[in-house]
Amino acid sequence: MSTMLKDLVGKIPIVVDAYWALRGRHKPWNAHFELVGLKAVLPGAVEDVLEYQRKTEQPRKICVFATLHYWIEQAMLVALGLAGYGHQVSFAWLPYAEWDQEISRFDLRRQDLYTRDVLQPASRVMRIGSLLGSSQQVGSKLNLSPELQKIVDQVSDYDTQYTLQIEETDLSSPLYLLRQQRNGQAAVAIHDWLKKEQPDLLVIPNGTILEMGVAYQVAQLLGIKTVTFEFADQQERIWVAQNDEIMRHNTSDLWNNLGDQPLPEKAKQALAGLFGARKNAHLWGNFARQWQQNPVKGGASVRESLNLDARPLALLATNVLGDSLTLGRQRITETMAEMIVGTIDYFIQHPGLQLVVRVHPGELKTHGTSMIDVINQAYPQLPENIHVIRPEDKTNTYDLVEIADFGLVYTTTVGMEMAMTGLPVIVTGITHYAGKGFTLDPQTWQEYEAMLDQVSQNPSSARLTHEQVEKAWLYAYLFFFEFSLPFPWHILWLQDDFQQRPMGYVLSDEGQQKYGQTFAYLAGDRLDWAARGLARLETLPLSEESQ
């Protein structure tokens, strides 16, 4: 069927429905939007919920929303788990496979009907329903309230930055206009759905970008409590935030409740093992990511290769543009690029200092603006006291940390790691580890330059005290090991995880012992960090590598 015909037919939902009933449902499904993994396990998971459903003293009315096929699969399992723990659950979706590409109404409606068929078994234990019908009824001309329009514009701005990996959005670009239209339709549909359902709680993945970011903001507007969740690179762990966007990594409650204690020796050993692996390009424990591509060679080798001398040396570690750690993180500049260019300008004016700019190796896996391009455009030639390490350069970041006198960062966790070695670190963006007592956090550009003046004049006297280093280590332990919570199914390994830990196991006494508290947090029970304490400490491995 041609695209033109699909667009024409797609405007008449009953025609698409008839096509699906007579032909589409009986053909092999070959679209990119697929729920194959969920389809295989959903009927059995529903039977497990019916057989092993646990009782709760405070059952809640919970709405769960997701879009994109992989998030729909993950969120449905979360919703089933919540139903299995005795809550009244409503699940809604928007059937998009791609957030940055146009799709005909015909194909979108087909994906919606396919989703409805796959999810139908879940209707035995929860209410399910698509938001596509109500969102499409709005049409191309949206008449949003000022509050909804503000939400749509802000989330669409983030979506564009995230997709193109940029920091400044062209409000006339096709991508922004596409995101604005979809987010606008979603805002109306989600608003009407939540007003109708009147839930105690909305549970959503991410909560910052795309229609899921819109859902979070709409819930906030309506005064509905929220839980957002995301996954890092640790197996069998989940991040959870209550009434907050999880990717903000708001660790204030964690730190306020657990940040005033000595770090146990076993925690130190585990943290040393993790960072030993990070430095030497190894895997460790249940972390499934290497942070460096090349093992350390030693600071002396890097110092010689860059022809560095005895002048004070600053290490500026950049972020990848457009990732979740840079969206809305401005503090002293409008963009990270502005901060980097301004910092280079400072060091141009101070030839008695040296600067190494370590451009994030993660840029090798992205397609957006590189900090190399930003620097080259601003300064086609750099003086001898400034060195730029390209993403592909085989330089281990930790060798640079070894020879640096102080650190400069936007939001990257390298700043936290530099503080763990005792280096003074100036943090210029809004990040989770700032303001915890072991970083320098300017609030204006003038304060930033004043800190640069002070630290560079005598870096040794600016080094962190023993107590500050201990704080940095404690915070790093809490963030990497305690901030994430036990959870049976990770989005990256969903099918394998569910085979190993099916719904019946999760709802069993043993599964409840491991994951019940996390599901309680997902259902809105207060996440009390003080009561949890160092809950993970006894289960941590101590070896550096994990095969």
Residue 545 lies inside a defined structural domain of this protein: no
* Identity of the residue numbered 430: I
With a cut of 70, list the residues of the chain below it in pLDDT.
1-24, 26-30, 134-141, 280-295, 541-547
Same domain, 196 and 325: no
Tokens of 227: 């839980």
pLDDT at 20: 64
Q: Name the nearest CA neighbour of 275 among 291, 252, 254.
A: 291
CATH number at residue 311: 3.40.50.2000
Same domain, 63 and 191: yes
Give the chain's domain count.
2
pLDDT at 412: 93
Task: From 182, 199, 230, give the residue that closes a domain.
Answer: 230
CATH number at residue 27: 3.40.50
Write the secondary structure of 69-104 as one string of H (helix), E (strand) and C (coil): HHHHHHHHHHHHHHHHCCCEEEEEEECCCCCCCCCC
Same domain, 183 and 36: yes
C-alpha to C-alpha distance for 281 and 77, rounded to whole angstroms? 34
Same domain, 322 and 466: yes
Residue 466 lies inside a defined structural domain of this protein: yes
Tokens of 372: 């190399």
Residue 461 lies inside a defined structural domain of this protein: yes
Same domain, 80 and 167: yes
Tell me how far CA of residue 71 lies from CA of 64, 76, 134, 211, in angstroms: 11, 8, 21, 12
Same domain, 36 and 129: yes
Residue 437 lies inside a defined structural domain of this protein: yes
Same domain, 191 and 324: no
Task: From 459, 482, 505, give the residue that closes a domain.
Answer: 482
Token pair 């759905």 in the structure block, residue:
193
Residue 269 lies inside a defined structural domain of this protein: no
Residue 20 phi, psi (nearest 5):
-65, -45
Residue 502 lies inside a defined structural domain of this protein: no
Same domain, 215 and 131: yes
Residue 95 structural domain: 3-48+58-230
CA dihedral 79, 85, 87, 92 (to 10 degrees): 10
Q: What is the pTM of this model?
A: 0.92
Q: Are the C-beta atoms of residues 94 and 131 closer than 8 Å to each other?
A: yes
Q: Are the C-beta atoms of residues 201 and 242 closer than 8 Å to each other?
A: no
Same domain, 221 and 356: no
Question: Any alpha helices (H) in 236-394, and if so which ranges?
Answer: 252-258, 265-279, 299-305, 336-348, 371-378
